[in-house]
Amino acid sequence: MIILIRHAQSEGNKNREIHQTVPDHRVKLTQDGWKQAEAAGLKLRSLLRPDDTLHFFTSPYRRTRETTEGILNALTSSDPAPSPFPRHTIKVYEEPRLREQDFGNFQPGSSEMARMWSERAEYGHFFYRIPNGESAADAYDRVSGFNDTLWRSFGDDDFASVCVLVTHGLMTRVFLMKWYHFSVEYFEDLRNVDHCEFVVMKRSQENQKYILQNELRTWSELRREREEQKEPESPIPVRKRWAGSQDSHEKEPRRRQGRRQNTVEMFADDAAPVELVEKTDVNRDIEKQSRGATAASTHRLIITQILLVRKRPNAACRQGQYSRLVDLTLLEKHLKKAEMGEALVPVLQVDVDLI
């Protein structure tokens, strides 16, 4: 049986900026990472038979060596019961070919790394070569050499029944790609394994081939699941709310409009007060017109209103539903005709309240 284990949580996983000052191979585990490694040792202990023998192959990076140490501590511990796997019976090998993909010595600042990751995603994770570092294809070449060495070791009489590889996330995927002849497209679609996750390969007794026991996670599957979880949009449009509150527009009191001013109130503060005809006379004339007043009464109404307008050339007037400025020339003409007793047609009627 072959078991691949990704290292536990490291300080680089918790804070990526640490790679700007600490070499990648010197990054150590966090406190949570040590707990993950010990939990992985207990899990491994539950998977093994008492008569199994063990060989460990670990990347020489500090985080993988510390993960291996944490696994061995829990695996060989006498708590809660004596372990069937004494420490001296377990062989551990440092294998540089299992090291992490080289990201180019000290990593640059966050903005440059973000640009590089974006470029890498667009170019393709397998063939994109990190500046001053490696591509996944370069890592594939050295893993291929390690796989050949491992195959030859299977024929040794003292080779263990269980081989544990403590390595990195990308290297786990590259190892599986080489072993099971994955395509580049499928490698690109594979998601990373979790910290201290076990990837188990068991040898079949029928054909002696190693069968992958895990169902690998892919990005395409994740996107499909997210699409299925999306709720269908409601055909009924959602009513907009104001100021972030559902009922705020309903609770908002309506502003009370001010009372419209009459003529006297509008010009009370004017520097040149307007000489106005008494409103009672105008109202009386309007009432006469409404009852079918004579032409003379109509003339009087128009003349009274014109006299009001002459005092203020820019006064507003209303004809039907539209407003415009008073044409003084036209009003003077109508005034003269009215004084001569000629018949007038009330083309313009000025609303006294608006003057």
| Active-site residue, 66 included | yes
- Which entry of 7, 19, 195, 334 is annotated as an active-site residue? 7
> Radius of gyration of the chain from Cα atoms?
46
Query: 295-310 and 279-290 are packed helices; what angle lies between their axes, rounded to 10 degrees?
Result: 140
The residue among 54, 39, 58, 57 whose CA lies nearest residue 90 is 54
Q: Would you report the helix, strand and coil content of the chain in percent, each value rounded to 5? A: 45, 10, 45
Strands annotated E in 251-319: 316-319
d(CA 310, CA 327): 10
> Which residue is catalytic, options 66, 95, 100, 188?
66
Report the candidate in 171, 201, 150 with the shortest Cα–Cα distance to residue 2. 201
How far apart are alpha carbons 253 and 250 in whole angstroms?
Answer: 8
Give the whole-angstrom CA distance, residue 214 versus residue 201.
8
User: Token pair for residue 242?
Assistant: 């104001």
Neighbours of 237 (CB within 10 A): 6
Catalytic positions are 7, 66
